[in-house]
Structure 1
Amino acid sequence: MGMDILHTIFLILHFIGIGSLLGGFIVQLKQLKSHTAVVNMAMFHGSLTMLVSGLALLTINEMDPAATVDHMKIGVKLLALVVIVVLVMMNRKKSTPPAWVVPTIGGLTTLNIILAVAWQ
């Protein structure tokens, strides 16, 4: 019972993190054309929330003998998220990051959502 509550809490935090990360990207869409898009605080906090809550969810699932964990799926999603976190950390204080950074963050975030939903 306790692990179910913990799992639910971390899953909600994971959804909040992805919402923040994707929302931060969507806010920057208008600036992409003029190359003035920045890595904003929503992307920073969202990516870190996703990383911490995702690792917590993985830990909880690994501890549950009844749960099956698709390690390949988790590995691919983790790789995409680590690239996102690195890009966010390296560019969050730059007034003009390279033009490819924000679209890459948005693309990898979308990829992560697709993998979570479509990879069964």
Structure 2
Amino acid sequence: MDVLIHLFVGLHIIGIAALLGGFLTQMKAMGQGTARFVPGMLHGALTMLVTGVALVGLNQADHHHVNTIKIGIKLALLIVILGLVYVKRDEEKIDKGMFGAVGLLTMANIFIAVLWT
């Protein structure tokens, strides 16, 4: 079971890398007002959602303690991120505030995962 959990952790990290990487590649464009949500950001957020749900299930099945408050907050942030990216995915230009909010929420999700023990 541990190998399977580690596999999903790796896939979860790949999802966060796609989401954050897409954001970081658009930083210069955000400064110019031409930033857009790239497809990798949507796919990364969806990967995070699927692998995160799988990780919670696998950890509970393996009788590990799961901090449901932490998971609930991370899920809420991810749903907001996913909603913003999904709704605005076809627009050529995204408002700087909205684009920045997705980046900040993504980083908040990372820091909650790492620092909240």
TM-score range, shorter chain: over 0.9
Task: Name the structure 2 match of 1:42.
Answer: 40
Q: Is 1:90 matched with 2:94?
A: no
Task: Name the structure 1 match of 2:101.
Answer: 104
Q: Which whole-Å CA distance do the structure 1 matches of 2:94 and 2:30 have between them?
A: 11
Unpaired stretches in structure 1, ≥5 consecutive residues = none
The alignment of Structure 1 onto Structure 2 pairs a total of residues equal to: 117
After superposition, give the CA deviation of every residue in 1:48-104 in whole Å (9 maximum; x if it has no partner): 111100010011011122x11100100000100010110110011111223322111
Any idea what SS the aligned residue of 1:100 has?
helix
Task: Name the structure 1 match of 2:30.
Answer: 32
- Segments ≥4 residues shifted beyond 4 Å: none
Unpaired stretches in structure 2, ≥5 consecutive residues = none
Matching residue's letter, 1:40: V
- Give the one of 1, 11, 14 matched to 2:12: 14
Task: Name the structure 2 match of 1:62.
Answer: 60
Q: Is 1:113 matched with 2:110?
A: yes
Matching residue's letter, 2:39: M
Q: Which whole-Å CA distance do the structure 1 matches of 2:107 and 2:20 have between them?
A: 8
Q: TM-score, normalised by structure 1?
A: 0.93
Q: Provide the alpha-carbon RMSD of the alignment.
A: 0.9
- % of aligned pairs identical? 44
